[in-house]
Structure 1
Amino acid sequence: MNLDFSLILVLVTLLTGILWLVDTLMFAPRRQAALAQAEQSAGAPLPEAQQVSLMRQPGWADTSRSMFPVLLVVLLLRSFLFEPFQIPSGSMLPTLKIGDFILVNKFHYGLRLPVLNTKFVSNNDPQHGDVIVFRYPEDTSINYIKRVVGVPGDVITYQGKTLFINGEAQPQSLIARLPPGNPEQLLLSETLVGKPHRIHQDIYRPIMNGQWVVPEGHYFVLGDNRDNSRDSRYWGFVPEELLVGKATAVWMHWDSFFSLPDFSDVRRIN
């Protein structure tokens, strides 16, 4: 089962805010009135310990008061500025490894309301070569990460493991055969509309050919691990309304729960 963390965060923030407000408007005045009545009956101010006892918030109110500001800040930052993600698969090798923790700029493509995902501030449009996080069109509870290779109006052709954009082949150059002794994979540098990045190709994987025309309001995406990525070649285009943000940096790598986090490979994502 996939949990919608955004929805959970919104609901918990709302709940703690409501509880804090209820205590502030309803129960705090009652505690203040009880203190005033007790001091009037005593004819003098009560000792400090008794005042503290009468004015003490119940546990639920104290917890809500403490949690609400923190949750609100986290909600605002996560919804409108930056959100961390962990890479769960090898579809973006060699650019991103399994266990990489990345930072996604959610403002870059405009601001959206949490949960509803309705855009209320427009900003940039995705460009060729951008690495984006988006909601998987076939199950929007799952986030995917791929590279944009086609924008609205482009004709995308994948022929003989070469990418063509509007009939123009995107240059590739060999970096290495992996592993060197008995190669099964090629490490290549691909230049996508003037922007270089690295990709993997499996030597013995069958060639998949096809041609697609990117419709308005949609994007065509590929994984950098070309022969080990389920992307637009298999399930189609990414609608603009499913964009989450632009992947900008790797800030940590953590292989597993039983290993130590590694901060030695902090880098920008190209």
Structure 2
Amino acid sequence: MKRRRRPTKKPKNPPRPPRFSRAWFLDWGRTAVLVTLFLILSRTFLMATFVIDSGSMEETLLVGDFVLVNKVSLGAPIPFTNSNFPGYAQPEHGDIIVFRADHSPGLDIVKRTVGLPGDTLRMDGGILYRNGVAIDEPYVRRNPRIPDSFDPKMLWQADYLLPELSRDTYRPTRDNWGPITVPEARYFMMGDNRDDSFDSRSWGFVERRKMQGTPLFLYYSYDREALKPFRFLTAMRPGRIGPPPR
């Protein structure tokens, strides 16, 4: 006769430590440390949040938009170094990118990529030309009430003018400048709100290693200028939540 096997007893889960005991505090402490490490690593290497607080990218991105940034796409910066982790993409014309600003250390800003290394750029009457070809930019917003004028902050461009142009007589304005050539490992970034954007025209090129990532989607939006109490809740813009405009 075959012997029946006795069912094996499942090991019992260890009893939970009494609340507020030393073991209870240790368990919660370990959990808190692990969660904190996960959030730090995610924030540093994977994803980051970004809040639009200027109108330089209107109407593409509005003041009060909350954006989740993909830091993996371009390769997150390696802390305490001048290098980046390998990304799966490279900046392309028209890409919206979050990057660390040289003109304001510690500040991350967002602009659109209009010039890659080796491109020759100029603007004539507010129209952007890249390598001699006028660029169709349906996302650009203009304000004819803001007059064009000479901007001394743009004189840095004289060092990148084509050789046949005179640096001594160069008088760039917001809507008329160049032609200049983008150097290696540098990018020219501009805001979509062209007449109200502090961008590469004034403070220069962006280094590749300073790029933080690309917008993944808008996870919240509200009108910060609405004349309502508790604007964060009463002035929500739910129709903007989703993939960011390109």
Report if aligned partners of 1:112, 1:121 keep a CA contact under 8 Å in 2.
Answer: no
RMSD of equivalent CA atoms:
2.6
Mapped partners of 2:27, 2:192: distance in 1:
49
Q: TM-score scaled to structure 1, two decimals?
A: 0.66
Whether 1:72 and 2:13 are equivalent positions in the alignment is no
Q: Per chain length, whose mean CA-contact separation is higher, i.e. which structure has more relative contact order (CA < 8 Å, sep 6+)?
A: 2
1:143 counterpart residue number: 108
1:210 aligns with one of 177, 186, 211: 177
Q: TM-score scaled to structure 2, two decimals?
A: 0.72
Structure with greater proportional strand content: 1
Structure with greater proportional helix content: 1
* SS of equivalent residue, structure 1 residue 198: coil
Mapped partners of 1:114, 1:233: distance in 2:
29
Q: CA offsets, 1:177-212, max 9 Å, x none?
A: xxxxxxxxxxxxx2xxxxxx4221111323321112
Report if aligned partners of 1:251, 1:263 keep a CA contact under 8 Å in 2.
Answer: no
1:166 counterpart residue number: 131
**Gapped runs of 5+ residues in structure 2?**
1-14, 149-173
Whether 1:56 and 2:22 are equivalent positions in the alignment is yes
Whether 1:258 and 2:199 are equivalent positions in the alignment is no
Mapped partners of 1:154, 1:114: distance in 2:
30
Return closer, same or farther for 1:117/1:77 CA change in 2, 3 Å cut-off. farther
Mapped partners of 2:52, 2:80: distance in 1:
22
Counterpart residue identity of residue 234, structure 1: S
Structure 1 stretches of 4+ moved >3 Å: 51-55, 61-64, 114-118
Which stretch of structure 1 is more off in the superposition, 255-264 or 230-239?
A: 255-264
Q: CA offsets, 1:73-118, max 9 Å, x none?
A: 2122222222111100000001011000112110111233346463
1:201 aligns with one of 123, 131, 142: 142
2:55 counterpart residue number: 90
Q: CA offsets, 1:160-187, max 9 Å, x none?
A: 000100110013xxxxxxxxxxxxxxxx
Mapped partners of 1:54, 1:75: distance in 2:
28
Q: CA offsets, 1:238-269, max 9 Å, x none?
A: 01111000123222103348221443222323
* SS of equivalent residue, structure 2 residue 129: strand
Report if aligned partners of 2:190, 2:199 keep a CA contact under 8 Å in 1.
Answer: yes
Report if aligned partners of 1:148, 1:220 keep a CA contact under 8 Å in 2.
Answer: yes
Whether 1:153 and 2:118 are equivalent positions in the alignment is yes
% same residue: 37
Mapped partners of 2:108, 2:46: distance in 1:
17
Mapped partners of 2:93, 2:120: distance in 1:
13
Q: How many residues align?
A: 197
Mapped partners of 1:220, 1:226: distance in 2:
14
* SS of equivalent residue, structure 1 residue 233: helix
Return closer, same or farther for 1:63/1:115 CA change in 2, 3 Å cut-off. farther
